[in-house]
């Protein structure tokens, strides 16, 4: 910030009119740097959020697109949402989907991160290959997994039958008993790279001397993980878990691509239900009410995340 202070010091001399003007001009130029981004953020985040709040109190439906009328109806959209059995189903599914995905991603991601902490030839190269599932468009992953999980010809059932684990093909995506589990498995696969990358960088910042000292005290293997790695990694872990939750509760592409929320709403989440309300049933008011509930949940975790992140930065 030396630039600013120096300029400020120079400007605090005898305040002539031209200098004041120059200073004001300078300030305007500085604001001009931020202006396009600020305008964009207002138009593409501020306005949509505000619009969603307003719409959630309106009867904003198919007719609105013809007559332009969207009368205010108070809390009707919210009461309709809360009394909708599909909403409760979607809420429960969102919780299961999020918790299941996070646990799977984290445990497997941690295992891989720990494994790749060992120094061996090609470890950096292999670790970078691991990023690929995360970089692919989600809808591509959905398409590929649909083919893998296909009941009769999918490679997963062929493999499981081949090794004798199952005798009948499992209808992964078309049975309401297994669809949510299948969607969670795919989402775990998608989330592993992200967990590995962050946990691995966290592991890199633990000084080796700690492990050396631990070894002298007899802390190896599980003990050193429990008493050295986990406590040192705690700030990173909380950031990874919270970001995971925030990203997972809004996942939509994957579920729409895999099951479309079905069968019989077995994989319906708040995000997919909100999409369905607005763009399939054209009830934008209720769709907005649903997505506002989603925003509130995301924001609650976001606030916890920002605090954890600030703490991590302070301790880091």
229 near another protein, rule: CB under 8 A:
no
DSSP code, position 263: S
Among 107, 291, 304, 307, binds another protein (CB under 8 A): 291
11 near another protein, rule: CB under 8 A:
no
Among 119, 164, 167, 222, binds another protein (CB under 8 A): 119
168 near another protein, rule: CB under 8 A:
no
Dist. CA 262–CA 213, nearest whole Å: 54
3 near another protein, rule: CB under 8 A:
yes
165 near another protein, rule: CB under 8 A:
no
Site size toward another protein, by CB under 8 A? 112
62 near another protein, rule: CB under 8 A:
no
316 near another protein, rule: CB under 8 A:
yes
12 near another protein, rule: CB under 8 A:
no
201 near another protein, rule: CB under 8 A:
yes
Stretch that binds another protein, among 11-19, 148-156, 165-173, 175-183 (CB under 8 A): 148-156
DSSP code, position 211: H
**Closest-CA residue to 214 (of 233, 199, 234, 229):** 229
Least distance to another protein, CB of residue 96, Å = 18
19 near another protein, rule: CB under 8 A:
no
3-state secondary structure labels for all residues of 106-152 = HHHHHHHHHHHHCCCCCHHHHHHHCCHHHHCCHHHHHHHHHHHCCCC
Using an 8 Å Cβ cutoff, are 261 and 273 in contact? yes
55 near another protein, rule: CB under 8 A:
yes
Dist. CA 124–CA 200, nearest whole Å: 11
248 near another protein, rule: CB under 8 A:
no
172 near another protein, rule: CB under 8 A:
no
Using an 8 Å Cβ cutoff, are 26 and 10 in contact? no
Count CB neighbours of 78 within 10 A: 17
**Closest-CA residue to 243 (of 204, 205, 199, 281):** 199
184 near another protein, rule: CB under 8 A:
no
Q: Please report, as residue ranges, which positions from 85 to 114 form the binding site for another protein (by CB under 8 A).
A: 112
For tokens 């991590």, name the residue.
312
Least distance to another protein, CB of residue 211, Å = 7
261 near another protein, rule: CB under 8 A:
no
278 near another protein, rule: CB under 8 A:
yes
Among 135, 164, 221, 222, binds another protein (CB under 8 A): 135
Dist. CA 241–CA 186, nearest whole Å: 18
Among 146, 161, 219, 263, binds another protein (CB under 8 A): 146
Dist. CA 52–CA 107, nearest whole Å: 37
Among 19, 89, 227, 250, binds another protein (CB under 8 A): 250
Q: How far apart are the first and last CA of the chain?
A: 22
Residues 6+ apart with CB under 8 A from 278: 284, 287, 288
Among 11, 20, 48, 107, binds another protein (CB under 8 A): 48
């Amino acid at each position: 910030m030396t630039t600013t202070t120096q300029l400020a010091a120079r400007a605090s001399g005898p305040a002539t009119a031209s200098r004041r003007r120059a200073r004001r001009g300078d300030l305007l130029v500085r604001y001009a740097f931020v202006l396009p981004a600020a305008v964009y953020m207002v138009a593409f985040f501020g306005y949509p959020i505000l619009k969603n709040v307003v719409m959630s109190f309106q009867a904003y439906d198919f007719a609105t697109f013809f007559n332009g009328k969207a009368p205010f109806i108070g809390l009707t959209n919210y009461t309709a949402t809360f009394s909708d059995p599909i909403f409760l189903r979607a809420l429960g599914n969102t919780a299961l989907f999020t918790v299941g995905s996070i646990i799977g991603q984290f445990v497997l991601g941690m295992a891989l991160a720990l494994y790749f902490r060992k120094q061996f030839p090609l470890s950096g190269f292999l670790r970078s290959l691991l990023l690929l599932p995360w970089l692919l468009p989600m809808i591509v992953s959905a398409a590929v997994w649909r083919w893998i999980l296909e009941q009769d010809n999918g490679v997963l059932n062929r493999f499981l039958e081949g090794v004798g684990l199952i005798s009948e093909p499992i209808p992964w995506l078309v049975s309401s008993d297994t669809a949510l589990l299948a969607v969670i498995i795919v989402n775990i696969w998608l989330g592993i790279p992200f967990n590995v990358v962050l946990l691995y960088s966290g592991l890199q910042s633990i000084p080796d001397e700690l492990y050396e000292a631990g070894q002298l005290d007899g802390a190896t293997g599980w003990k050193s993980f429990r008493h050295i790695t986990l406590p040192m990694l705690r700030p990173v872990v909380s950031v990874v878990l919270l970001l995971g939750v925030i990203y997972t509760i809004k996942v939509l592409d994957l579920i729409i691509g895999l099951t479309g929320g079905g069968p019989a709403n077995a994989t319906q989440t708040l995000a997919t239900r909100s999409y369905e309300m607005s763009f399939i049933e054209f009830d934008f008011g209720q769709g907005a009410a649903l997505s506002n509930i989603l925003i509130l949940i995301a924001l609650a975790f976001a606030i916890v995340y920002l605090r954890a992140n600030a703490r991590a930065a302070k301790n880091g």
